[in-house]
Amino acid sequence: MLVLTRKLNEKVVINDSITVTVVEIRGDRVRIGISAPMDVAVRREELLTRVPPEPAGAEDES
């Protein structure tokens, strides 16, 4: 893992097409902005590991 230190409004560029910008620093929270091509999926990690709810009526009928 690469760990970088950035200040407010500083950016990191990934592969010439993705830009990560420090938008706000407030206490122990940092807001970032991500600019990426439309074909690049950008998701929060907790949404990837969350178990989706079962659709209604999908109960086991055994």
Residues 16-61: pLDDT tens digits?
Answer: 999 999 999 999 999 999 999 999 999 999 888 877 777 777 666 5
Residue 13 has pLDDT above 90, yes or no: yes
Comparing C-alpha atoms, which of 36, 33, 37 is closest to residue 22?
Answer: 33
**Model pTM greater than 0.85?**
no
State residue 60's pLDDT score. 60
What is residue 14's predicted lDDT score, i.e. its pLDDT?
A: 97
What was the pLDDT predicted at 1? 94
pLDDT of residue 62 exceeding 60, the answer is no
Sketch the domain layout of the chain as residue ranges: 8-37
Ramachandran assignment for 57, one of left (phi > 0), alpha (psi -120 to 50 degrees), beta (any other)? left
